[in-house]
Structures are given as structure tokens and as C-alpha cells.
Amino acid sequence: MLEKPQLNDGEKKIEKYIIRLKKPLGKGAYAEVYLGRLITNNEPVAVKVIDKKIFANHYNLKNIQSEIEIMKKVEHRNIVKLLDVYQTTNNMYIITEFCEEGDLMHFLKTRKKVPEREAVRLLKDITDGFKYLSAHGITHRDLKPANILLKNGRCKISDFGFAKNLQYGENTVMNSIVGTPLYMSPQILNRAPYTTKSDLWSVGLIYYEMLHGFTPWPANN
């Protein structure tokens, strides 16, 4: 029989994981991400905690369900791996691998410009992840430095909240206006039909930012 794990102040047990709830690693529109660990070997994990009150809005529920289904479907070295999903009365817990080096946005803030050789290597990680998603009929629709995580020097695409399974593969035409305006393709910004190639536009902007330390144009806040 397994011994009951010792919980420190601010920790909570969810199935086979311990979650450290004192300080979130990050916050989103409807969730907070915390550091956790697997009880059996203390392996660190990332835990997205979602308040189920938001599911009163059917759109939010549909988005979360879609995100989980897509993450279950994908497995690639350049995509953050889904480990488990649990629900309690009040919360949903989405558990993924932990990327200890943080996201590319913070990496670029500290490094400013990235040497071309290193930028090309990071770009290859991102494009390999993009090509895998495209080949499996998935478009991300919110590729940006904040959604690219770093682990052991390798880029991993994360956050599939706006991702979509494509009915007709990479040539599927979409019309929904989603994503982050600074990294959106002209087609999306102009409310024109677009395909998964819009993700490639975002990848190009990320590469530009790595090389120059800034985006081609400022964000309109």
C-alpha cells in the first residue's frame, strides 16, 4: 500500500500528482498554470487549473474540449506533451510536461537578439512542430513567442486553446477571427478567408523577432 504523500503548505493532491498552488507559473483568460510533481518520482509537471464556472458559457466548454482532444491526438518532440486530465466538482486539471526554461517571449526579453545560427535552430524546432500539426489536419491559430516553450534548449509549441481540427486538411478555409493581432496574418486581420498557411506567417514573424529583437511593427494597445 502506498504511503500518503506529505503535503507542504499551499500544496494539493490531485490523483497521482501534487500541485504547488502558492504562485502560478502563468495566467490566461480562464486558467492558471502551476508547478506540480508526480508523486512516484517527483518528476515536475505543469498543471493548468480551470475554474469550471466558465463552462456555463458553451463556447468556453467547447474550446476546452477541443484543446484536450487535439492534445491527445498529437505526439511530437516539438509539441508540449499532454500527460493527464482530471476533474473535480469545481475544477478541471490539464497536466502537461514541464518546460523548465520558460517561454520564448521571456527568453527574447532577456536575450534581445538571437545569433542567426541559434535562431535558425530554434526556427527549425518551430517549423517541425508546425509541419507535424499541418500533416495531421490541425491549425494552431495563435503561434507567438509566449506559446513557444523551451525545454533542454528545444522549442515546443503549446497552448491549443484556439487550435482547430481541419475537416479538409491543410486546404480547409476558415473565417473565425482568433489569435493575437500582432502575429495574425493579413487575411485574418482583414476578415478574409484563410487556411493553415496563416500559421506559417506567424512563424515568420517569430523568426524576425528572434533575429532583430523586435517585431516588424509595433503592437496597437
Q: How far apart are CA 185 and CA 196, in angstroms?
A: 10
Supply the angle between the helices 197-212 and 116-135 in degrees, to the nearest 10: 170
* Active-site annotation holder among 103, 125, 142, 199: 142
Contacts of 161-165 with C-beta under 8 Å, sequence gap 24+, read: 161/28, 161/63, 161/64, 161/67, 162/63, 163/66, 163/67, 163/70, 163/133, 163/138, 163/139, 164/66, 164/138, 164/139, 165/66, 165/69, 165/70, 165/73, 165/137, 165/138
103 in active site = no
Cβ neighbours of 36 (radius 10 Å): 27
User: Is residue 203 within 8 Å of residue 130, measured between CB atoms?
Assistant: yes
Instruction: Tell me how many degrees the CA angle 43-68-51 measures, rounded to the nearest 5.
Output: 80
Total residues belonging to the chain: 221
The residues assigned a catalytic role are: 142
